Amino acid sequence: MKGGSLKLKNKSEKKPVWHYKDPKERTKSLLIWAIGFGILIWGSSILNFHFARLFKAWFPLSNFFGRLLPPDLSYIPKNVIWPLIETIQMSVLGTILGIFLAIPVAWLAAYNISPLKPFSYILGRGITVVTRSIHVFIWSMILVALLGFGPLPGILALGIYSVGFLGKMWAEEIENIDHGQVEAIEATGANRFQIIFYGVLPQIFPSFVGLSIYRWDINLRASSVLGMVGAGGLGYELNRTINLLAYKKTASVLFVIIIIVIITEFLSAYIRGKIS
């Protein structure tokens, strides 16, 4: 049946009852669809995006994948293992740095425990917004320009970018805690730090660990390509093989990236499942 919707006859009923939309509702729905379709057409024309170009790209795309396959797996032992280890180290150190930086930011950004609100709350939220607004690739480019090539800019970029995600998520977890436990700790005469340590941290600890592992999973994916802007790791090797047009070696690097991402996906999901 067209032009209808499910609604309750009255608030006491639990089962929705089908009824036809009135003309005003139908006009509103059509207007929303028309506006959305108009925005799609307008954006496509402005950006010179035409679906026909996707069909024309089939031959060069198949040609490119023909150059990639089969991957040159003999290239992995001597040229990919160390960049892989470097990538994992970057992701771990960047995540640890992000955790340490995000803890005080979350403290400031959580309104219910922020020490000098509203100033500290605005400062904490501002830090989370700024660090998330600038993509990790841009942070890497800036830090490579300042510090030179190598893993250090990548580690710092991952740490800074992690602050926005972890600080925001932890602050929201803190704001949603059970305040009854906090009031019980306050009634004992505990100071602010004792209240946080015994009343707040036990409630958010599973989320704290789970979000940290999830952030490491994200950072590993990011660190695998940060080398394309000079921050070391698998990204550097990926960029080098592409520039040399050694596509079968590029495929071997991509193969390693896919395998390590799959492994860490299962590992992080398993750990988060154990602590939740």
Both structure tokens of 63: 């040609």
Rounded to whole angstroms, the Cα distance separating 71 from 253 reads 9
Rounded to whole angstroms, the Cα distance separating 270 from 259 reads 17
Q: Which fold has domain 75-275?
A: MetI-like fold (1.10.3720)
Angle at 169 between CA 130 and CA 119, to 5 degrees: 55
Rounded to whole angstroms, the Cα distance separating 65 from 54 reads 16
Residue 97 pLDDT: 92
Are residues 25 and 5 in contact, defined by beta-carbon separation less than 8 angstroms? yes
3-state SS assignment for residue 49? coil
Evaluate if residue 8 carries a pLDDT over 70: no
Please give the average per-residue pLDDT across 136-154, as a whole number: 85
Higher pLDDT, 44 or 81: 81
Residue 5 pLDDT: 47
Both structure tokens of 49: 């995006």
CA 35 to centroid of chain Cα atoms: 30
Q: Give the phi and the psi of residue 82 in degrees, each rounded to 5.
A: -65, -45
Q: What is the pLDDT of residues 46-102, one digit of tens each?
A: 777 766 776 776 777 777 777 777 777 787 788 888 888 888 888 899 999 999 999
Evaluate if residue 109 carries a pLDDT over 80: yes
pTM for the model stands at 0.74
